[in-house]
Amino acid sequence: MILFAGLGNPGAKYAGNRHNIGFMAVDAIIRRHGFAAARRRFQGEICEGVLDAERVLVLKPQTFMNESGRSVGEAAAFYKLEPAQVVVFHDELDLDPGKVRVKTGGGLAGHNGLRSIAAHMGPDFRRVRLGIGHPGRDRVLAHTLKDFSTAERQWLDPLLDAVARYAPLLATGHDATFANKVHLALNPATPEKTKADEPADKDKDY
């Protein structure tokens, strides 16, 4: 069993915020893979599905971001999950918009949601870091609690689609492959020029 936890703030007021990209990511997974309807448990909304034969629980804490650990920790304890079985999807200021990185453990980079989870279950859970860009030290709060713009949807929607498409790789522990597949989906290789695309040789007789 694997627990996917998306981080965000509950309520319509925050639904489109950059800080809620974790909620958006797990919502995309739920939609794409036909998870069961959500129910209220563990101070959050939780639903269940199967990804590549692996049972997956998806949790959206309803405790507000800064207390995410109360919900995630309670669910992990109930199902007797090790930190390696918990994957947290969250916004990342230190990554450019649309970039994705996956890591296990490490620092918390000032993220209050991650800090709360670490306080309840230690730091060695897995993280899917979803870049939203850094606006500068004095503008972080306004940046994270502001909705994604229409222009930003041009990279956000493909990002969420790719995360959802390759989520089974996370469920089966192939984190590096997941990150690589998402990167390639968002940055497709440019085909090499074919001979038909090349200019004709002016010295050649036809």
Structure tokens that stand for 194 in this block: 């074919």
* SS3 assignment, position 112: helix
* pLDDT of the residue at 190: 72
Structure tokens that stand for 168 in this block: 């089974």
Q: Angle CA(163)–CA(168)–CA(169) in degrees, nearest 5?
A: 85
Is residue 206 assigned to a domain?
no
Is residue 198 assigned to a domain?
no
User: Rounded to two decimals, what is the model's pTM?
Assistant: 0.90
Backbone angles phi, psi at 73, to 5 degrees: -65, -40
Task: State the CB neighbour count (10 A cutoff) for residue 107.
Answer: 10
Over 50: is that where the pLDDT of 200 sits?
A: no
Task: Name the average pLDDT for the chain.
Answer: 93
Residues 148-187 pLDDT 10s: 999 999 999 999 999 999 999 999 999 999 999 999 999 9
* SS3 assignment, position 204: coil
Is residue 43 assigned to a domain?
yes
Is residue 149 assigned to a domain?
yes
Is residue 199 assigned to a domain?
no
Mean predicted confidence (pLDDT) in 88-110? 94
* pLDDT of the residue at 140: 93
* pLDDT of the residue at 192: 63
Over 90: is that where the pLDDT of 100 sits?
A: yes
Structure tokens that stand for 50 in this block: 């199967």
Structure tokens that stand for 139 in this block: 């503008």
CATH code: domain of residue 148:
3.40.50.1470
Catalytic residue numbers read: 19
**Cα distance between residue 62 and residue 56, in whole Å:** 19
C-beta of residue 117 within 8 angstroms of C-beta of residue 72: yes
Report how far apart, in Å, the C-alpha atoms of 151 and of each of 97, 138, 147, 154, 156 are.
12, 23, 11, 6, 9
Lowest mean pLDDT among 179-183, 187-191, 200-204: 200-204
Q: The sheet that has 86-92: what strands, in order across it?
A: 39-41, 44-51, 54-61, 2-6, 86-92, 126-131, 100-104
Over 70: is that where the pLDDT of 201 sits?
A: no
Is residue 52 assigned to a domain?
yes
Lowest mean pLDDT among 19-23, 104-108, 111-115, 193-197: 193-197
> Which residues, other chains included, contact 168 with Cβ-Cβ below 8 Å and sequence gap of 6+?
33, 51, 52, 54
Task: Name the domain count of the chain.
Answer: 1
Over 80: is that where the pLDDT of 48 sits?
A: yes
* pLDDT of the residue at 155: 97
Long-range contacts of 14-19 (CB under 8 A, 24+ apart): 14/145, 16/147, 16/148, 17/144, 17/145, 17/146, 17/147, 17/148, 18/91, 18/132, 18/143, 18/144, 18/145, 18/146, 18/147, 18/148, 19/65, 19/91, 19/144, 19/145
Is residue 46 assigned to a domain?
yes
Instruction: Give me the domain span that covers residue 10.
Output: 2-187
* pLDDT of the residue at 141: 92
